[in-house]
Amino acid sequence: MSQKIKCIRCGEEFILEDGEKKFYDDKGFPYPKRCHDCRIVRKRYREKYEKDS
Ligand SMILES: [Zn+2]
Protein backbone atom coordinates (compact mmCIF):
# COMPACT_ATOMS: atom_id res chain seq x y z
CA MET A 1 0.00 0.00 0.00
CA SER A 2 1.17 3.49 -0.74
CA GLN A 3 1.95 5.66 2.24
CA LYS A 4 1.15 9.27 3.03
CA ILE A 5 4.05 11.30 4.35
CA LYS A 6 4.03 14.87 5.55
CA CYS A 7 6.85 16.92 4.08
CA ILE A 8 9.10 18.34 6.81
CA ARG A 9 9.91 21.37 4.69
CA CYS A 10 6.60 22.65 3.33
CA GLY A 11 4.15 20.61 5.42
CA GLU A 12 2.33 19.22 2.40
CA GLU A 13 1.32 15.58 2.41
CA PHE A 14 2.67 13.50 -0.42
CA ILE A 15 2.22 9.90 -1.47
CA LEU A 16 5.04 7.43 -1.38
CA GLU A 17 4.03 4.96 -4.05
CA ASP A 18 4.27 1.22 -3.63
CA GLY A 19 7.18 0.96 -6.04
CA GLU A 20 9.09 3.74 -4.31
CA LYS A 21 8.46 2.23 -0.91
CA LYS A 22 9.79 -1.08 -2.12
CA PHE A 23 12.90 0.66 -3.44
CA TYR A 24 13.62 2.18 -0.03
CA ASP A 25 12.82 -1.08 1.76
CA ASP A 26 15.10 -3.06 -0.55
CA LYS A 27 17.98 -0.63 -0.12
CA GLY A 28 17.36 -0.25 3.59
CA PHE A 29 17.09 3.52 3.16
CA PRO A 30 14.78 5.57 5.37
CA TYR A 31 11.69 6.90 3.63
CA PRO A 32 12.00 10.43 2.26
CA LYS A 33 10.90 13.24 4.56
CA ARG A 34 10.38 15.79 1.82
CA CYS A 35 7.89 15.93 -1.02
CA HIS A 36 9.03 15.65 -4.58
CA ASP A 37 9.21 19.42 -5.14
CA CYS A 38 11.26 20.04 -2.01
CA ARG A 39 13.65 17.25 -2.91
CA ILE A 40 14.29 18.88 -6.28
CA VAL A 41 14.88 22.26 -4.62
CA ARG A 42 17.31 20.69 -2.17
CA LYS A 43 19.13 18.82 -4.92
CA ARG A 44 19.52 21.97 -7.02
CA TYR A 45 20.72 23.91 -4.01
CA ARG A 46 23.35 21.31 -3.19
CA GLU A 47 24.51 21.03 -6.78
CA LYS A 48 24.88 24.79 -7.01
CA TYR A 49 26.85 25.23 -3.83
CA GLU A 50 28.90 22.07 -3.86
CA LYS A 51 30.23 22.84 -7.33
CA ASP A 52 31.32 26.32 -6.29
CA SER A 53 33.33 25.16 -3.31
ZN1 LIG B 1 7.56 19.83 0.46
Q: pLDDT for 20-45, tens place per residue? A: 999 999 999 999 999 999 999 989 99
Q: Give the count of domains, the chain.
A: 1
Spacing, Cα 12 to ligand 1 middle (Å): 6
The parent domain of residue 19 ranges over 3-52
Cα gap 44→5, rounded to integer Å = 22
Q: How far is CA 38 from CA 8, 9, 26, 42, 53, in A?
A: 9, 7, 23, 6, 23
Instruction: Give percent above pLDDT 70 in the chain.
Output: 96
Which residues line ion ligand 1, judged by CB < 5 Å? 7, 9-10, 35, 38
Spacing, Cα 33 to ligand 1 middle (Å): 8
- pTM tops 0.75: no
Spacing, Cα 50 to ligand 1 middle (Å): 22
